Homo-oligomer: A and B are copies of this chain.
Amino acid sequence: MVRNMSNIEDREQKKYAPIGVFDSGVGGLTVAREIMRQMPHEKIVYFGDTARVPYGSKSKETVTKFSRQIVRFLQTQNVKAIVVACNTASAVALDEIEQEIDIPMIGVVKPGAKVAARTTRNGKIGVIGTESTIGSQVYSHYIKEIHPDAEVIGKACPLFVPLVEEGLLQDPVTDEIATRYLSELIDIDIDTLILGCTHYPLIRSTVGRIIGDKVTLVNPAYETAIELRNLLEQENLLNDREPRLGENQYSFYVSDAADRFKRFANAILKYGILSAKNVNIEEY
């Protein structure tokens, strides 16, 4: 009985613990942003592996090793759940690492794939992403688990990330590049398009305008935040308390170049980030 009591108390306390979110760099901030929007009471500890970005060109073993180090770091911050806000790590490292830890862990690929599989009417789903995400066919894999007859057409858009990082979110150059990348998906007559890279929600309006309003855009960042909310609710881990005045609700950590990270974060989040701290992630 005593033990049960203490479990309930633990769980009550655990509610107020932060959510850990990590990515290979800055892109995962779009996922953090959705969590902030949908769950304004939650605390977040964000880690961006800016020293070792990008993950896309690295082997499964390396990405798993890096992700495991980050998970260990986030656990030192007493997080109650972990969101893998990185397509590559979600695809190759999540399944293995979630077996090793005792807190819930979710990635960005499955929630996006699930919604796309349920949204399409003509069965033609486009996926845009980095070369590595498209090459891995990971979205196709999860979509076909739910909708085996779906036709999944991937299109790598390597210039989108650098265009976003240069801040050209509304720009004729980005329009022109998007028109080129999306033309074959328009020709194929897809009715659903997954924004399969965490940077892409930032050019969602450009992509939406060019692909046309007959195509439903699926934003995995948004769907991941919904899934996280459901998960926390199920486990009775949703934070129901307003953050206290002066309480540090959001913390940001990076493995390199904190200034550059801050600049990008301040451009996409609604409020200013005061600091991003450097962590020597190889020690974890």
A59 contacts which chain B residues (CB < 8 A)? 51, 256
Stretch at the interface among A100-108, A117-125, A172-180, A240-248: A172-180
A166 to B260, CA, bound (A): 25
By the criterion CB–CB under 8 Å, are B173 and A165 in contact? Answer: no
A263 to B40, CA, bound (A): 47
Q: Mark A52-77, 1 if CB is under 8 A from B, else 0.
A: 01000111001000000000000000
A177 to B158, CA, bound (A): 16
By the criterion CB–CB under 8 Å, are B173 and A57 in contact? Answer: no
**In-complex Cβ contact of A165 among B50, B51, B158, B257 (8 A):** B158
* CB interface residues, A 119-148, toward B, < 8 Å: 131
Q: How far is the CB of A280 from chain B (nearest CB, A)?
A: 10
Q: How far is the CB of A25 from chain B (nearest CB, A)?
A: 9
By the criterion CB–CB under 8 Å, are A257 and B57 in contact? Answer: yes
A50 contacts which chain B residues (CB < 8 A)? 57
Q: How far is the CB of A138 from chain B (nearest CB, A)?
A: 17
A163 contacts which chain B residues (CB < 8 A)? 159
A85 to B50, CA, bound (A): 24
A58 contacts which chain B residues (CB < 8 A)? 51, 256
A61 to B63, CA, bound (A): 21
**In-complex Cβ contact of A176 among B165, B172, B257 (8 A):** B172
A256 contacts which chain B residues (CB < 8 A)? 57-59
* CB interface residues, A 19-53, toward B, < 8 Å: 50-51, 53
A281 to B162, CA, bound (A): 28
8 intermolecular pairs with C-beta atoms under 8 Å apart:
A51-B62, A57-B257, A158-B165, A158-B166, A159-B159, A159-B162, A159-B163, A173-B176
A62 contacts which chain B residues (CB < 8 A)? 51
A176 contacts which chain B residues (CB < 8 A)? 172-173
Q: How far is the CB of A186 from chain B (nearest CB, A)?
A: 19
A195 to B161, CA, bound (A): 23
A165 to B131, CA, bound (A): 12
Which 4 A-B pairs rank lowest in CB-CB distance, beginning with the nearest?
Answer: A162-B162, A159-B162, A173-B176, A173-B173
Closest to A181 in B: B166
**In-complex Cβ contact of A260 among B131, B177, B257 (8 A):** B131
By the criterion CB–CB under 8 Å, are B159 and A166 in contact? Answer: yes
A173 contacts which chain B residues (CB < 8 A)? 173, 176-177
A158 to B166, CA, bound (A): 7
A177 contacts which chain B residues (CB < 8 A)? 173
